[in-house]
């Protein structure tokens, strides 16, 4: 039904970035962090960095991108601390990024793991198994490589999806400032 694959080249971002921006537009954290701002170009930059330094996995149907996820293989939380510092510095020049800096600076496990940093499905494709297809694809490899996986679910619906794929709650929910959404940390040991 869906073709799921890792993106290998930034040349594909002309197709992927608009789908990612559309899929994220009404996502709880994005909606809160980027209210009244267009961060499409920033999304493109982040995806380009993820393609080069980490991993971007997409789901496609009939040639159209219907889901995008970003994954980071981490030995510790240090790369995320550096990223948080960089985003905080950008937020000094662009106050609209202040809320995004709060998201990036969330507490994070300081042990080796795979981090599902984001996953978004285009509105017209939600509830049709796209998220499950992406998870099955990437978690199969995580299991083979004996990697634990961490994520923060931004809604009860996404937490239920992750639970169906073997994730369990891990620690207290994280409340984002300024009446932001409640994030639910989840952990999954290799199967």
For residue 31, give every residue at least 6 positions away whose Cβ sits within 8 Å of its Cβ, in sequence order, or none: 25
Measured distance CA(106)–CA(93) in Å, rounded:
21
For position 92, what pLDDT does the model report? 67
CA 175 to chain CA centroid, nearest Å: 17
Say which CATH topology domain 3-188 has.
Aminopeptidase (3.40.630)
The separation between CA 52 and the C-alpha centre of its own chain, rounded to angstroms, equals 16
Positions of the chain with pLDDT under 70: 33-39, 80-81, 84-85, 87-106
CA distance 153 to 17: 22
Q: Which residues contact 160 (CB under 8 A, 6 or more apart)?
A: none
Question: How confident is the model at residue 44, as a pLDDT?
Answer: 85
SS3 170: coil
- Beta-bridge partner residues of 56: 70
pTM across the whole model: 0.86
Question: For residue 69, what pLDDT is reported?
Answer: 97
Phi, psi of 135 (to 5 degrees): -60, -45
């Amino acid at each position: 039904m869906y073709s799921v694959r890792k993106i290998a080249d930034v040349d594909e971002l002309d197709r992927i970035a608009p789908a990612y921006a559309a899929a994220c537009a009404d996502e709880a954290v994005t909606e809160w962090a980027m209210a009244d701002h267009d961060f499409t170009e920033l999304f493109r930059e982040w995806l380009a960095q993820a393609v080069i330094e980490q991993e971007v996995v997409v789901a496609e149907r009939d040639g159209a991108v219907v889901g995008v996820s970003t994954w980071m293989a981490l030995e510790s939380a240090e790369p995320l601390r550096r990223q948080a510092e960089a985003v905080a510095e950008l937020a000094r020049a662009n106050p609209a990024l202040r809320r995004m800096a709060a998201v990036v600076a969330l507490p994070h496990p300081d042990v080796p793991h795979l981090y599902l940093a984001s996953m978004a499905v285009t509105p017209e494709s939600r509830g049709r198994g796209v998220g499950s297809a992406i998870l099955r694809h990437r978690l199969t490899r995580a299991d083979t490589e004996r990697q634990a996986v961490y994520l923060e679910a931004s809604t009860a619906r996404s937490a239920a999806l992750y639970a169906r794929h073997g994730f369990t709650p891990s620690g207290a929910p994280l409340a984002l400032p300024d009446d932001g959404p409640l994030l639910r940390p989840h952990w999954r040991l290799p199967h």
